[in-house]
Homo-oligomer: A and B are copies of this chain.
Amino acid sequence: MMSIPLSESGSLYSQLITRLRDVRDIQSAAAVLQWDRATYMPLGGATARGRQLATLRQVAHDKLCDPALGELLEQLEAQGQSYPYDSHEASLIRVARRDYDQARRVPGEFMARLSSHQTETYLAWAQAREESDFQRVCPYLEKTLALSQEWASFFPECDRPADSLIALSDEGMTSAILEELFSQLRGELVDIVQAIAQAPAPDSKLLQQQFSETSQLNFCKTLMERIGYDFSRGRQDATLHPFTTSFSINDVRITTRTDPNNLTESLFCSLHEMGHALYEQNIDPALEATPLADGSSSGIHESQSRLWENIVGRSRAFWECFYPRLQGLFLRQLGQSSVCDFYRTINRVACTPIRTAADEVTYNLHVMIRFELEVAMLEGKLSVQDLPEAWNSCYERDLEITPRSDKDGVLQDVHWYSQLIGGQFQGYTLGNLIASQLFETALKQHPEIPVDLERGQFTSLLTWLQRNVYRHGRKFTADELVDRITGMPIHPDPFLRYIRSKYGDLYKLDL
C-alpha cells in the first residue's frame, strides 16, 4: 500500500508506518462519523454519535501516546536526520515526533472530558442560535473557556495562553506575531473600507432572485469538475455549515448549502470548499494514510479555499468564460445583465454582520475581531458573560454596525461552541494573506495564467499549485512553505496590493 521506500533500518521504519497508519485509520473513521452527523444522521442518533466519536478519539489518542511509538521515534531520530529535509522519510519522522510530543502533553482523561463537553455544547448552541439566546449557551461556553485554559496549562513553556492553541492549527505562529501582523492590516483595511463606503455601491438585486436549487448545484458541479475536482474521489452533499473532509487522498468530500433566493451562497461556498478539496486530493499518493496526508496548516489550507473562491472565482477573467453559461441556465433572471454587472455585484463591499457572507475587503475585520476576543478571554481580560457586549463594540468600532441580535452576532460561528476557545480564527486571515502572496508569485512565474483563466483553462495554475503546495501535504510548516515558494515570510503587502488594485478599479477610487 505504502510506496515510501524503506530506509536501511527498514523494519523500524515500517513499524512506524504501521503504527501511524492505525492512528490515521481511526481518525479517518471519526471523520466519516462527523461527516455523517452533518449530512444524513437522523436527529435521534445524536447522543450515541457523540459517545462513539469520544470513544474513537480516545482510542486514537491512546495509540498516538503509546510510549512504544516514542521509543520508535527515538531510535529513528538519527536516521531521519540523515535524509534530506524534504524527503518523505525525514518529514514523516519529524512531523510524527511533533504530533507525539504534543499528544503526550494532554492527558487522556482531559480528551474524554473535552469530547463529551463539546457534544453537549454543540447541541446547546444549535438551540441557543435558533432562539438567539446567548444565555442558554453561556454556562457551556464558560466551561469551554476553563477547558481551553486547562489545555494551555499543559504547555507552560508558551508565553501566552493562546499560543499553544494557535500552534495546534498554525504551527510557528504566536499571539504576539499575529497581533503585530493584524494591527498593521486592520489599520489599512479600516481606511479602505471607509473610502469604499463613500463611493456609490453596486446593486445586489441581480443575485437576489429565485434560482432553482437543483440547477444551482448542477452548475456548481460542472464548474468544479471543469476546474479539476475529481468526483470519482469525492462527492458533494448538503449541510448546514459547509466544510470539506478527507478520509483518504482518494475520498475527499465537499459539503455545501444552497439558498433559493441567493445565487452566491452555493456558488462561492462550492468554490471555497473545492479549494480545500483540490489541496487534499492532490497530496502525493505516497503519503496516503500517514500524518503527512494533510494540509500544512490552517492558514495554508484556507489560502487554497480563498484563492479559488476569491482570486479566481470572483475575478473578471473567470466570469468572462462562465457567465454566458450561467446566463444560459438562468435566462429569465440573468439574461438582461452583462458580465460587468455580475462582476460588480459579486464583489460588492458592505459592512454586514455575518463573517461567512462578507466580501473580501471586510472579511478580515470579522476575523480579527474574533481573534482579539479569543485572546482577551483566555488571558482573563474578558468574561464569557461580557462577550456579547464586547462583540458588538468591536463591530461598532471596525465596521460601524451593530448586529440586530446575538444570532447575527456572537452566536453565528460554530467554532467556539464545538472546539476550544483560542486558535480558531487566525487561519482565515493568514489564508487570505498567503493566497495573495502565492498568487503573485505564480503570476510572476507563469504570466499566462490570467489569459488561461479567461479561457476556462485551469491547468497552468493548478499544476503550479500542485507542484509547489499540494503534493507536499504536511511536510513543511506554513512559514517554510511560503518562504520556499515566495522567498519571503508571510506578509500582508501582496494582499493589500491585490485589494487596492481590484477595488480601486471597481469603485473608481485611488486606494
Binding site for B on A (CB under 8 A): 1, 21-22, 25-26, 28-30, 32-33, 36, 40-45, 47-49, 51-52, 55-56, 59, 230-235, 237, 247-248, 250-251, 253, 288-289
Instruction: Tell me the dominant secondary structure on chain A's binding face.
Output: helix
- Identify the closest chain B residue to A30 (Cβ): B29
Q: Contacts of A45 on B, CB cut-off 8 Å?
A: 233, 247-248, 250-251
**How far, in angstroms, from A36 to B251 measured CA to CA in the complex?**
12
**How far, in angstroms, from A134 to B250 measured CA to CA in the complex?**
29
Q: Contacts of A36 on B, CB cut-off 8 Å?
A: 32, 36
Pairwise interchain contact A25-B1, C-beta atoms closer than 8 A: no
Pairwise interchain contact A42-B233, C-beta atoms closer than 8 A: yes
A185 CB to nearest B CB, Å: 39
A15 CB to nearest B CB, Å: 15
Q: Contacts of A25 on B, CB cut-off 8 Å?
A: 51-52, 55-56
Pairwise interchain contact B48-A288, C-beta atoms closer than 8 A: yes
Q: Contacts of A28 on B, CB cut-off 8 Å?
A: 48, 52
Pairwise interchain contact B52-A29, C-beta atoms closer than 8 A: yes
Pairwise interchain contact B51-A1, C-beta atoms closer than 8 A: yes
Query: Given contacts A26-B56, A44-B234, could you give 8 more A-B pairs where the C-beta distance is less than 8 Å?
Result: A25-B51, A25-B56, A29-B29, A29-B52, A40-B237, A41-B251, A42-B231, A45-B248
**How far, in angstroms, from A244 to B231 measured CA to CA in the complex?**
27
**How far, in angstroms, from A55 to B20 measured CA to CA in the complex?**
12
Pairwise interchain contact A48-B237, C-beta atoms closer than 8 A: no
Q: A22-B55, A26-B56, A51-B1 are in contact. Are A44 and B250 (CB under 8 A)?
A: yes
- Between A and B, 9 residue pairs with Cβ closer than 8 Å are A21-B55, A26-B59, A28-B52, A43-B233, A44-B234, A44-B250, A48-B289, A49-B251, A51-B289
**How far, in angstroms, from A22 to B56 measured CA to CA in the complex?**
9
Q: A36-B32, A42-B233 are in contact. Are A248 and B26 (CB under 8 A)?
A: no
Pairwise interchain contact A251-B44, C-beta atoms closer than 8 A: yes
**How far, in angstroms, from A22 to B53 measured CA to CA in the complex?**
11
Q: Could you say which of A52, A59, A234, A251 has the most chain B C-beta atoms within 10 Å of its C-beta?
A: A52
Q: A36-B36, A232-B43 are in contact. Are A247 and B52 (CB under 8 A)?
A: yes
Q: Could you say which of A48, A56, A59 has the most chain B C-beta atoms within 10 Å of its C-beta?
A: A48
Q: Could you say which of A36, A42, A233, A247 has the most chain B C-beta atoms within 10 Å of its C-beta?
A: A42
